[in-house]
Structure 1
């Protein structure tokens, strides 16, 4: 009997000792990231049957349990992946918001300054200083567009670098997880399938870090390993085997990094839409949803301003009497053939109608029979049997070679607009501020008829007969003859309607009042137009014209861009803050279940200490009983 008491005490002593060791382990790891509190699980040993009943044989430790909640851990992973994506997106878009919204260094001040300079020149078009101010303001405007575009391009380069760094971190994590999987499987299979708690904690911590980089799906295996999947189901970890992600250059844009999946046959590009969470997902979402569209929107404003301004400037006359040339230089659409193309086709594009431009990029594909043009912003498709074709303000043409089935081309009409704009004129005398025609009324006219100053019809190039003299002679109060050199000069008399447009040779005038027989009106070349401000007034009027997309002025289009970025930034500020709070809540819920509480552990120390002491007393008592029996002999 004394032996049974001794064994019971010894089992209690061993259990208490393991409890003390486990509690000490918990206390030591109170600050260890990812550590889950451990707990000794005790069960009774099999009792011995006696004539008086079953007599207990003490206790045994069946396992050391890790206090872990799969449900709570998955909640933390899901909320953390979304929080990382939103936080990354917000930190990136803040840079654009600060850049565009700066009232002192943004585009708005130089845009206003350019049109203010035109208004000043309109007051004194012959003044060389005023003309030079217009050129300087044009240079400042072009530099403003260039600077913003360069900043956005640098952000694109920075995104590439951050994507590479993120992929490197992801690959490091998956390698470590695969190695831990192997250790866990070996450890648990060799210890009566007891859980390798500390190794499991290390793996969970790595999975949490991986999940911050990219949203993952974790599947537990029967042998203790965990499989990790990403994107649309690509496996990163399968047992003890890891698979790497990598970065590849876009086949149609060498400056753009894409995410690829390593396979025996080479890297396979993965769709960006598959990465919905983590730092990686935030970077990809920012680039596709905000950065690309911002460059395109800014480029459309620049292209539309330059194109419409050039058109009006070319309809004017400079101080030397020559027709105006282009005021701004602008670049054309960027078109890149895929590196995978097998054909020899070279596709070129040109701006045909700036008002019809969108802010989308396009993909042109050839299936061997027809071309399919896909607008990437909304998926709208058009098919063509041949080129050239004009779509959304861009003229596309096959300049050489032939396309093969499967060939693709990326078309970006506006992306280079802001970066390519510059002032084409260096001589202020070549500013076409005057109109190239003027109208006169005959000195002998006696009727009340009045002729307007006349306007030049657009778009350029101007009619070759624009400045040929044309005379309107009234043969009665209701008819007039047209004489002179030009296009469409009628042989018969024309009916007079007060205020109705009269157009020949690329100009339009109106006559009002009541001319009488013999009254004469002339349209001639403007040879005394040094102080003429008619064209500069039209140029200045472009400031408020709805030129961008046919619905917005230059400034309202830019303001709309700034407003959209500001609204998106504010939205992300709120949602990222709310998501961070959710992460804190779910983490706190997990920690309340799995984390180490020093007060609780201190109580456990005292409990196990007392159990240890009590078990030692039992053993001491058993020893005395045994000694007493021996003394009887």
Structure 2
């Protein structure tokens, strides 16, 4: 009887809908899960003009996804990744360079303070020794800060290498899932869970670098860098590499289909781009600035000492040794230098302090520092620390903004694709009622069928 067929199709459709709702509820807390729904459609009456229809069928399982919202979420992940990776390094430098126990300003002040103190008794061995002690302590501050820079450089490069390794795993996963999704859809099998896994991999990859994502008719997605190079085309994928070269401590490249492209890491966006921009635009220039100060302190002091005379009447000798580069002893006191080598006299007369006064005046002389230009030696470190503080505050503001945008984009995606517990509870009741009603129709049809048989008997 048609009535039984109709009711049976309704009961079966209700079962599919109930199963779909139960899957949604089971994944209520699953990150990246996209809710689904059974799409019901009526079955026409066919060739029978007296038939109202042939029941209902589940024509497909819908995924509640919005491509625009997914793209917005991935863009926000890239922006957040760029700012979030930079801030810990900026904060560390702020704390170190702004601390009186480690700041260059305090070390420079102590050195020139010791020079000023010896003016009252230029022949005093203890006061002269204090000048050497202050010079050594100032050198240690320069060297200690240089070691912090070197440590950050190494950390940035190690972190980028780890990000590249993780990105390669996600790139390969996206290509593999593309293949599986294409095969599943071609065979009429639901690929929702695989699509969710692929989108989750894209989201994680987007945090590492800015991406462009496009959909294909077969259900696959192509992924490329913001700079245009393809990472994934269907089931094909490239491989990123970070390795030292003769001209760079860490060069980035992409190999795809037998071709290798050299990448500018600072333009990649995401965590990779943020770390690379921090290294090239903040960390290395800052390290060079500190080296500029150390070099000019050494050269000015040594040049002035050479114009003076020691207590024994001989010409002055260099106090400092400056070594260019990122070594741990960039600035140090000459190994053979002793207190009696300090050439404070300008004419060789015992007790004369003419050259000492010129040494003290170096603190108020201008020097040239790469990122801030020409400044007084006494102000150089203060201006560098101030500039660092501004950079840190700007990055904190950008980080806060990108965190808000990312949170809002995730919420926006969740409003379309996320599971709503209340909505699913309503669906359960409705589809349960639908199932029970159809089963009741089948029971009534059976009664009618029995009654008909009884009449014929």
Shorter-normalised TM range? over 0.9
User: 1 CA distance for matches of 2:328 and 2:288?
Assistant: 9
Q: Secondary structure at 1:224's aligned position in 2?
A: coil
1:22 and 2:20 matched: yes
Paired residue secondary structure (1:204): helix
SS in 1 for 2:106: helix
Which residue in the other structure is 1:269 paired with? Answer: 262
Alignment match, 1:571: 394
Partner of 1:299: 291
Shift of 1:225: 1.1
Q: Distance in 2 between matches of 1:25 and 1:104?
A: 60
| Contact persistence 2:24–2:424 (CA under 8 A) | yes
SS of aligned partner of 2:154: helix
Richer in helix (by share): 2
Q: Which residue of 2 aligns with 1:208?
A: 203
Displacement after TM superposition at 1:132 (Å):
0.7
**Partner residue of 1:541?**
361
The reply to whether residue 169 of structure 1 matches residue 166 of structure 2 is yes
In structure 2, relative to structure 1, the CA distance for the partners of 1:260 and 1:214 (3 Å cut) is same
C-alpha contact 1:180 1:199 (8 A) present in aligned 2? yes
Contact 1:323 1:432 in 2 (8 A): yes
What is the deviation of 1:44? 0.7
Alpha-carbon displacement from aligned partner over 1:563-616 (angstroms, at most 9, x marks no partner): 111111111111101210111111111111110011111111000000000011
Corresponding residue for 2:309? Answer: 317
- Secondary structure of 1:262's counterpart equals strand
SS at match of 1:135: helix
d(CA) in 2 for partners of 1:625, 1:318:
126
Q: How does 1:167-206 map to 2 (within 5 A)?
A: 167-191=164-188, 196-206=191-201
Change (3 A) 1:419 1:267: farther
Please identify the structure whose Cα radius of gyration is greater: 1
Residues 263 and 530 (structure 1 numbering): CA distance in 2 closer, same or farther, change over 3 Å?
Answer: farther
**2:331 equivalent to 1:421:** yes
CA offsets per residue over residues 320-341 of structure 1, 9 Å max, x none?
A: 1111121211124xxxxxxxxx
Alignment check: 8 A CA contact 2:238 2:257 kept = no
How many Å apart are 1:195 and its aligned residue?
5.0
Query: Is the CA contact 2:24–2:35 (under 8 Å) kept in the aligned structure 1?
Result: yes
CA contact under 8 A between 1:123 and 1:533: conserved in structure 2?
no
2:435 maps to which of 612, 623, 627: 612
By how many angstroms is 1:416 displaced? 4.3
Equivalences for 1:228-243 in 2 at 5 Å?
A: 228-243=223-238
Does residue 1:75 correspond to 2:69, yes or no? no
Structure 2: how far apart are the matches of 1:264 and 1:128?
A: 74
- Counterpart-to-counterpart distance in 2, 1:266 and 1:155: 33
Give, in whole Å, the separation in 1 of the partners of 2:226 and 2:103. 38
Aligned mates of 2:125, 2:378 — CA distance in 1: 28
The equivalent residue for 1:395 is: none
What pairs up with 1:435-514 in 2 under 5 angstroms?
Answer: 435=346, 437=347
- Describe the superposition over 1:29-73 as per-residue Cα deviations: whole angstroms up to 9, x where unpaired: 111111011011111101245555x51221111100000010111
Structure 1 stretches lacking a partner, 5+ long: 333-414, 438-525
Task: Report the counterpart of residue 432 of structure 1 in structure 2.
Answer: 343
Q: 1:267 to 1:71 in 2, by over 3 A?
A: closer
CA distance in 2, matches of 1:51, 1:289: 78
Q: In the aligned structure 2, how far is the partner of 1:156 from the partner of 1:417?
A: 13
CA distance in 2, matches of 1:420, 1:264: 46
Residue in 2 that maps onto 1:85 = 82
What SS does the aligned partner of 1:564 have?
helix
Report the equivalent of 1:220: 215
Instruction: Tell me the distance in 2 between the aligned counterparts of 1:430 and 1:267.
Output: 60
* Partner of residue 39 from structure 2, selected from 38, 41, 48: 41
| Runs of at least 5 residues in structure 2 that lack an aligned partner in the other structure | none
Give the alignment partner of residue 279 of structure 1, picking from 271, 274, 277.
Answer: 271
In 2, Cα distance between equivalents of 1:419 and 1:560: 24
Other structure's SS at 1:14 match:
helix
CA-to-aligned-CA distance 1:345-373 (integer Å, 9 cap, x gap) = xxxxxxxxxxxxxxxxxxxxxxxxxxxxx
* Separation (CA, whole Å) in 1 of partners of 2:288 and 2:98: 17
Q: Residues of 2 paired with 1:326 and 1:417: CA distance? A: 20
Give the aligned partner of residue 251 of structure 2: 258
> What is the distance in 1 between the residues matched to 2:378 and 2:180?
63
Q: Is the 8 A contact 2:90 2:388 kept in 1?
A: yes
Q: Is the 8 A contact 1:82 1:579 kept in 2?
A: yes
Distance 1:57 1:222 in 2: 32
| 2:436 is the alignment partner of 1:599 | no
RMSD: 1.7
- SS at 2:198 equivalent: helix
Output the CA distance in 2 between the equivalents of 1:105 and 1:571.
24
Q: CA deviation at 1:555?
A: 2.8
Alpha-carbon separation, structure 1, partners of 2:226 and 2:279: 17
Superposition pairs for residues 323-338 of structure 1, below 5 Å?
Answer: 323-332=315-324
